[in-house]
Structure 1
């Protein structure tokens, strides 16, 4: 009787062991941007591993926005264009992208949110104009850490007030 008790006790232990390899659908890091042949230029090349980049805040020598003239230069360029939306809406348009070790940009992703931070696509024309403006910025500074050139993720968030850019974040 005692042997049967031991067998019944150990039987679930043997069957609970898993020997298979676990597979995940999640990226190595949240927010990785992977190449999409439908929207990304095949001419843009990363310098590091294929689908990996350092977050803009991850390197010790990060002193804010790595752009020649910093955010002030970006604001001046944007003011020259005098962009506005035909819709007098409020919200945010965030454009994320990769800056490679040569200071070139690619893999742009756009997200629109209303002023309650809920995803919303309220003005495609205006977001395309801001995307094209962001793509035209050519003063990005390449990152290097301990003698190794790095690719890094960067973003610009445009705060929209009454259909115009009122602030650029970060």
Structure 2
């Protein structure tokens, strides 16, 4: 009788003592990390350090300025040459966020479109595709350096749209 009672007490302990299975977390390491998506991302783009999470655009050395050859004025001049205009008289913001790797190459682009009230919307597809293509083709990104090492980092450009035209680039 003692043995039966003892076994009944030990069964819950034995069930709970199973070895823990190592699982890949469904959560990102940091809020805002961009995870590779085979439907959206170019498989040839590589992070320089797989375990490196990438600095955010608001942290790290040189974070007070845009890390681009010629700075923001160079991007503005290139945008003016591109003459991107919507066929619709729309207002709002298109933000394109991406990763710049330690070689200055870009990838993992994500796009968000909102109206003037900061509510999600969709701009004219041809127009938003042109803005995206323009951003993806910018090739003057400067790798972030700190303590003699170059790092991957996140960057974003927000295009303020007024009456179907880009009126300002942020930051």
TM-score by length of 2: 0.83
Offset, 1:23: 8.7
| 1:87-108 Cα shifts (integer Å, max 9, x gaps) | 1010000000000000000111
Cα distance change, pair 75–58 in 1 and its aligned pair in 2 (3 A):
same
Offset, 1:24: 5.9
Aligned partner of 1:151 in structure 2 is: 152
- Contact 1:87–1:123 at 8 Å: present in 2 too? yes
Aligned partner of 2:30 in structure 1 is: 29
CA distance in 2, matches of 1:90, 1:153: 26
Aligned partner of 2:121 in structure 1 is: 120
Three-state SS of the structure 2 residue aligned to 1:54 is: coil
Aligned partner of 1:92 in structure 2 is: 93
**Gapped regions of structure 1 (runs ≥ 5):** 1-17
CA distance in 2, matches of 1:88, 1:134: 22
Three-state SS of the structure 2 residue aligned to 1:55 is: coil
Greater CA drift, 42-51 or 149-158: 42-51
- Contact 1:32–1:51 at 8 Å: present in 2 too? no
Cα distance change, pair 46–91 in 1 and its aligned pair in 2 (3 A):
same
- Contact 1:33–1:51 at 8 Å: present in 2 too? no
Greater CA drift, 40-49 or 54-63: 54-63
**Gapped regions of structure 2 (runs ≥ 5):** 1-15
Number of residue pairs aligned between Structure 1 and Structure 2: 153
- Contact 2:67–2:141 at 8 Å: present in 1 too? yes
Aligned partner of 1:4 in structure 2 is: none
TM-score by length of 1: 0.83
**Aligned pairs (5 A) from 1:13-52:** 25-49=26-50, 52=53
Cα distance change, pair 123–65 in 1 and its aligned pair in 2 (3 A):
same
Aligned partner of 2:68 in structure 1 is: 67
| 1:69-124 Cα shifts (integer Å, max 9, x gaps) | 00000000000011111110100000000000000001111110001111111322
